[in-house]
């Protein structure tokens, strides 16, 4: 059973009352994120879940979902780095965006991502070249009216083309997994999945006739959230999926799904403040209520009034009247609701709060950097592991080397190469490497890692160096990196301290 919006609202409001952060802001309850993840996995236990990071890319959210055992659907280099920095293993990442730069594919492959989705020959050829041997799925275009925020024709190819491309994937030495589709976000009709699964079954059969057997099926995201009205329960979606798979596949495929909204939406509450309440003429029946958040500050999904959020005020229950709801910027499109009938209390005044439940998805990630000077939406977090929130889990190794030859300590190229080599051997991923050489002597070399950072500072005149390696997650071994570096430098004496940071989970 999902928690009602009022319990989440109550917990987030308790935080808001206590902390009084500036508005607008988003409060995310990490326990609700975890609960939603578990509920989705219980509804479809046979499917591997890849959380669509774009719905809410907060590191805190990624961490909680990693701990809950989810994989992650990522769209590019930045989302990959974000996940790796939170200790997600690269084999839990799925690069689901069929529109990719070659250098981003190359980066993904270099850091260990091996699962990709494509929908064109060009992208497939790039995958074969820059991510050789990887597992690939072909996204097909499904016609599924009923999504409140549809994708249109931007993603996916025809079923006929998918057959050719999947057969071609095998020829190119890739590992074709299956068909992927996405019915569009916030889909209120479970039957929408039927059409996608039927088409995927046909493609799978046709590809088998070409001698290539597919083993998977990715049914995407689109699972809805109750904003103003309750959607059908998740179990109904799961039943439709199971039934359709049974009818359209000879062998039950390995299922995967990529929920975004359904994981995070109900976990978040936006607090906004009323800036102005006015009328356009004395006879105007509708009041205009201007909030300090609008289309550009995080409520992007109010475009075309696609998503109608619930608005909650302290005056609820008293007499109300019809309103137009608008945002704070000097942009004519920054109007949230003028066709959707909204009523707000007559007592509502400038300075009052308007709380927006179910706002954890596609809000912070859609807020502009500073349109019209308004800053991006700030996020706060409640729940989650006690003390673990806001911390990185990882190991920080600090070492002092001595007795090192002065020439080595004044050679930045040797130091950078050594640093890169030992980090690589220790399982870390170097994203960037820079150095600075000082007068009369001494070098600082720094590596930015997917897992955090490493640096070395040298004192040739003393024959000593200080080394600092911090890595998040379980993949890299910072102690090994420091040991290997000591060997390369031939240091005779060293002092090493390891600090364990954050909560290590199993």
Ligand X SMILES: *Cc1c(COP(=O)(O)O)cnc(C)c1O
In the complex, the residues that contact ligand X under the rule CB under 6 A are 52, 54-55, 73, 96, 182, 185, 220-223, 258-262
Token code pair at residue 31: 């326990």
Residue 351 burial by Cβ neighbours in a 10 Å radius (0-12, 13-18, 19+): exposed
Residue 431 falls in the annotated catalytic set: no
Tell me if 22 sits within 8 A of 283, measured CB to CB: no
Could you say which of 109, 187, 396, 457 is catalytic?
A: 457
Nearer to ligand X, 187 or 395 (CB): 187
Nearer to ligand X, 223 or 296 (CB): 223
**Short-list 1, 56, 3, 50, CA closest to 26:** 56
CA distance 464 to 468: 14
Long-range contacts of 428-434 (CB under 8 A, 24+ apart): 428/454, 428/469, 428/471, 428/475, 428/476, 428/478, 428/481, 429/84, 429/110, 429/111, 429/112, 429/476, 431/81
Nearer to ligand X, 144 or 494 (CB): 144
Residue 452 falls in the annotated catalytic set: yes
Minimum CB separation of residue 120 from ligand X in Å reads: 15
Minimum CB separation of residue 154 from ligand X in Å reads: 10
Could you say which of 229, 281, 330, 506 is catalytic?
A: 330
Strand-pair partners of 305: none
Minimum CB separation of residue 425 from ligand X in Å reads: 35
CA distance 62 to 386: 16
Minimum CB separation of residue 260 from ligand X in Å reads: 3
Token look-up 């609700």 returns 32
Minimum CB separation of residue 49 from ligand X in Å reads: 11
CA distance 168 to 118: 12
Token look-up 């109007």 returns 335
Nearer to ligand X, 73 or 292 (CB): 73
CA distance 289 to 276: 6
Handedness of CA 181, 201, 71, 148 (dihedral sign): positive
Minimum CB separation of residue 448 from ligand X in Å reads: 28
**CB-based contacts of 173, cutoff 8 Å, min separation 6:** 128, 132, 133
Minimum CB separation of residue 147 from ligand X in Å reads: 8
Could you say which of 472, 474, 494, 500 is catalytic?
A: 472
Residue 248 falls in the annotated catalytic set: no
Burial readout 111-130 (b: 16 or more C-beta within 10 A, e: otherwise)? bbbbbbbbbbeebbebbbeb
C-alpha to C-alpha distances, 401 to 135, 204, 226, 426, 444, nearest whole angstrom: 44, 59, 59, 19, 14
Minimum CB separation of residue 116 from ligand X in Å reads: 11
CA distance 423 to 481: 5
CA distance 265 to 271: 15
**CB-based contacts of 281, cutoff 8 Å, min separation 6:** none
Nearer to ligand X, 217 or 443 (CB): 217
Minimum CB separation of residue 93 from ligand X in Å reads: 13
**Concatenated DSSP letters for 311-346?**
-EETTTTS-EEEEEEE-SSS-TT-EEEEEEEEEEET
**Concatenated DSSP letters for 82-108?**
HHHHTT--GGGEEE--S---HHHHHHH
Nearer to ligand X, 76 or 463 (CB): 76
Tell me if 313 sits within 8 A of 271, measured CB to CB: no
Nearer to ligand X, 256 or 458 (CB): 256
Could you say which of 92, 452, 464, 494 is catalytic?
A: 452
Nearer to ligand X, 221 or 298 (CB): 221
Tell me if 203 sits within 8 A of 179, measured CB to CB: yes
Residue 330 falls in the annotated catalytic set: yes
CA distance 18 to 24: 16
Minimum CB separation of residue 117 from ligand X in Å reads: 7
Nearer to ligand X, 52 or 238 (CB): 52
Nearer to ligand X, 15 or 366 (CB): 366
Residue with CB nearest ligand X?
221
CA distance 123 to 165: 10
Catalytic residues: 330, 452, 457, 472
């Amino acid at each position: 059973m999902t928690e009602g919006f009022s319990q989440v609202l109550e917990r987030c409001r308790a935080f808001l009352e206590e902390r009084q952060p500036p508005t607008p802001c988003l409060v995310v309850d990490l326990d609700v994120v975890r609960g939603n993840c578990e509920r989705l996995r219980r509804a479809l236990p046979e499917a591997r879940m890849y959380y669509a990071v774009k719905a809410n890319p907060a590191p805190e959210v990624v961490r909680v979902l990693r701990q809950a055992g989810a994989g992650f659907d990522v769209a590019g280099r930045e989302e990959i780095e974000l996940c790796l920095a939170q200790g997600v293993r690269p084999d839990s990442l799925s690069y689901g965006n069929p529109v990719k730069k070659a250098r981003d594919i190359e980066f993904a492959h270099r850091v260990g991502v091996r699962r990709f989705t494509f929908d064109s020959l060009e992208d497939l050829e790039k995958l074969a070249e820059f991510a050789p041997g990887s597992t690939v799925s072909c996204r097909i275009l499904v016609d599924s009216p009923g999504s409140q925020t549809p994708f249109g024709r931007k993603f996916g190819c025809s079923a006929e083309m998918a057959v050719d491309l999947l057969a071609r994937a095998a020829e190119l030495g890739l590992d074709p997994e299956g068909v992927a589709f996405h019915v569009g976000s916030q889909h209120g009709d479970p039957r929408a999945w039927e059409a996608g699964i039927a088409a995927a079954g046909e493609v799978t059969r046709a590809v088998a006739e070409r001698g290539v057997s597919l083993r998977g099926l990715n049914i995407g995201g689109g699972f809805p959230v109750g904003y103003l009205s309750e959607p059908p329960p998740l179990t109904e979606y799961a039943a439709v999926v199971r039934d359709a798979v049974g009818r359209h596949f000879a062998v039950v495929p390995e299922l995967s799904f990529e929920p975004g909204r359904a994981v995070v939406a109900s976990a978040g509450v936006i607090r906004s403040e009323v800036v102005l309440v006015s009328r356009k003429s004395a006879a105007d029946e509708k009041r205009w209520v201007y909030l300090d958040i609008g289309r550009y500050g995080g409520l992007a999904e109010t475009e075309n009034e696609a998503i109608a959020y619930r608005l909650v005020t302290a005056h609820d229950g008293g007499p109300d009247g019809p309103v137009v709801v608008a945002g704070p910027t000097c942009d004519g499109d920054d109007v949230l609701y003028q066709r959707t009938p909204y009523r707000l209390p007559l007592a509502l005044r400038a300075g009052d709060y308007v709380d927006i439940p179910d706002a954890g998805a596609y809000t912070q990630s859609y807020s502009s950097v500073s349109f019209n000077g308004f800053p991006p939406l700030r996020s706060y977090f409640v729940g989650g592991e006690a003390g673990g929130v806001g911390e990185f889990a990882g190991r920080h190794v600090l070492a002092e080397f001595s007795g090192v030859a002065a020439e080595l300590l004044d050679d930045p190229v040797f130091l950078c190469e050594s640093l890169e080599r030992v980090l690589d051997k220790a399982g870390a991923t170097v994203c960037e490497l820079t150095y600075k050489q000082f007068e009369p002597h001494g070098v600082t070399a720094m590596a930015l890692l997917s897992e955090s950072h490493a640096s070395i500072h040298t004192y040739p005149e003393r024959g000593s160096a200080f080394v600092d390696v911090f890595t998040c997650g379980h993949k890299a071994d910072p102690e090994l990196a420091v040991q290997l570096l000591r060997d390369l430098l031939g240091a005779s004496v060293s002092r090493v301290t390891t600090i364990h940071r954050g909560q290590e989970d199993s």
